[in-house]
Structure 1
Amino acid sequence: MRTFDLAPLYRNTVGFDRLFSMLDSGGNVDSAPTYPPYNIERTGETDYRITVAVAGFTPAELFIESKENSLSIRGEKADVQSGERSQVLYRGIAARAFERRFQLADHVEVKGARLENGLLHVDLVRNVPEAKKPRTISITTSAPATAQQVEAQVAA
């Protein structure tokens, strides 16, 4: 069992309460859902991809919603309405409903999604506005005043 005491960090920081609460709650691995499995990849400097294994689901049975800093992927299997009902002797292919939620960083937007070979690829891009990007500030120095400049300022 791994536990970390983050209390000393609380008194030295301001505005990171959400980060610390996420770290505190993230340590409990036993309660984390494992279905469906997924990957998170970095495909470029500002591009990311979430890949979710959704074998057996059609595009009509998958729902993707992006709201504020949250991405939700849901899958609901349609009821089988065939004339012939077969009896399943062993069900090894999971076809249960699921919902996966991902917290997105600031300025991360969903670019698109595609279903390919049982994998749902959701492409993300991080667009930081120009006003939020770091900028370099030039430093100017003032040369020491010469005797002539001092006399001109005194005369004025």
Structure 2
Amino acid sequence: MRTVFDFSPLYRSSIGFDRIVDLLENASRVTTIDNWPPYDIAKTGEDAYRIAMAVAGFSQAELSVTHEPNILVVSGEKASEDNGDYLHRGIAGRPFQRRFELADHVKVVGANLASGLLTIDLKREIPEEMKPRRIEIGNATQAPRIEAAKTRIAPEKQVA
């Protein structure tokens, strides 16, 4: 049994949160769960994260890491090599594409491939103008005076 949520009330009472509501709708949809390649997401600092993905058998040339606005796409495709007939093939070499939704202001710092493990380092860098700032509070004698407007608005003509 599947529960369907109606997010339309959020559209009526909020402005600018369309992306968050879209994320909730996408998360509530049942999709085919592809759990390959396996990955871990770790928080390594206050605003730092690391994705570790097991990509055994893939070389750097066969992997691609792309940072689009608010989305990180990791994909891999093996070069076609036919090294004979396999009696058992347990190492997956199929193409994959894994997408990660990123919050605003999250940047990719770097990516490394070592021992079949692809690590991608991420950092949230909030712009200076968006950080909280302290506002000085003045006393009443220092507050600027607000003067009345000197322009005069003409009264509207009355319609008979």
Same structural fold, with TM-score higher than 0.5 when normalized by the shorter chain:
yes
Q: How does 1:119-138 map onto structure 2 within 5 Å?
A: 119-138=117-136
Which contiguous aligned blocks of 4+ residues in structure 1 show a shift greater than 3 angstroms? Answer: none
What number of residue pairs does the alignment pair up?
140
Aligned to 2:111: 113
Q: 1:34 Cα shift? A: 2.2
User: What CA RMSD, in Å, does the superposition of the two structures yield over aligned residues?
Assistant: 1.8
- Name the CA distance, whole Å, in 2 between partners of 1:30 and 1:105: 22
Q: Which runs of 5+ in 2 are unaligned?
A: 142-160
User: Shift of residue 33 of structure 1?
Assistant: 2.9
CA deviations 1:53-97 (Å, max 9, x no partner) are 11111122111122332221111111226xxx4311222221101
- Alpha-carbon separation, structure 1, partners of 2:85 and 2:34: 29
Residue 102 of structure 1 is matched in structure 2 by 100
Give the alignment of 1:3-152 within 5 angstroms. Answer: 3-80=4-81, 85-142=83-140
Query: 2 CA distance for matches of 1:34 and 1:52?
Result: 11
* Identical counterparts, % of pairs: 49
Deviation per CA, 1:102-131, whole angstroms, max 9, x where unpaired? 222222111111112321100011111211
Residue identity matched to 2:73 = S
> What amino acid is the match of 1:79?
S
How far, CA to CA, are the matches of 1:77 and 1:63 in structure 2? Answer: 11
Question: Partners in 2 of 1:71 and 1:104 — Cα distance?
Answer: 7
2:58 counterpart letter in structure 1: F
TM-score, normalising length: structure 2: 0.77
Look up the equivalent residue of 1:37 and give its one-letter code.
P
TM score, norm. by length of structure 1: 0.79
Q: What one-letter code is carried by the residue in structure 1 that aligns with 2:53?
A: V
Q: Distance in 2 between matches of 1:90 and 1:29?
A: 32
Task: Give 1 or 2: higher helix fraction.
Answer: 1
Distance 2:130 2:50 in 1: 23
Q: Which amino acid aligns with 2:47?
A: T
